[in-house]
């Protein structure tokens, strides 16, 4: 297994380089992309990775959520519709929010 494949787990054991990598490779590009990508990703992970629940919270159609999540994958390289990659993005989202505070 490559070390980069275990970024969330490395963060959990206190690896600051992994923390910085997740924020730099996932969170910051989503902030820079603007639009609703970060908000959509947050709604998706906070509501059990349900497209329909995220759509209800965002007041959009589930296809809009699906489209935005595909854009998240393009921007970050991690697909939020894949369980493992969604976990990576969820960790990056939490770390990025902590860094803002």
CA atoms of 96 and 90, how far apart (whole Å): 10
Split into its structural domains, the chain has a count of: 1
**Confidence (pLDDT) at 2:** 85
Q: Write the DSSP assignment of 56-75 as a string of letters.
A: HHHTS-HHHHHHHHHHHHHH
User: Can you give the residue range of the structural domain that contains 53?
Assistant: 3-100
Residues 84 and 31: their CA atoms lie apart, in Å, by 22
pLDDT computed for residue 101 by the predictor? 67
Q: What is the pLDDT along the chain (101 residues), one digit of tens a residue?
A: 888 899 999 999 999 999 999 999 999 999 999 889 999 999 999 999 999 999 999 999 999 999 999 999 999 999 999 999 999 999 999 999 999 86
d(CA 7, CA 13): 10
Q: Which residue shows structure tokens 């690896």?
A: 15
CATH of the domain at 19: 1.10.10.2840
Q: What is the pLDDT of residue 39?
A: 97
């Amino acid at each position: 297994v490559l070390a980069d494949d275990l970024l969330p787990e490395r963060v959990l054991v206190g690896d600051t380089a992994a923390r910085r990598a997740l924020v730099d490779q996932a969170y910051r590009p989503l902030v820079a992309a603007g639009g609703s990508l970060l908000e959509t990703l947050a709604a998706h992970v906070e509501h059990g990775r349900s497209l329909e629940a995220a759509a209800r919270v965002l007041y959009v159609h589930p296809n809009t959520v699906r489209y935005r999540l595909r854009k998240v994958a393009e921007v970050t390289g991690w697909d939020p519709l894949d369980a493992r990659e969604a976990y990576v993005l969820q960790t990056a989202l939490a770390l990025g929010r902590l860094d803002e505070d």
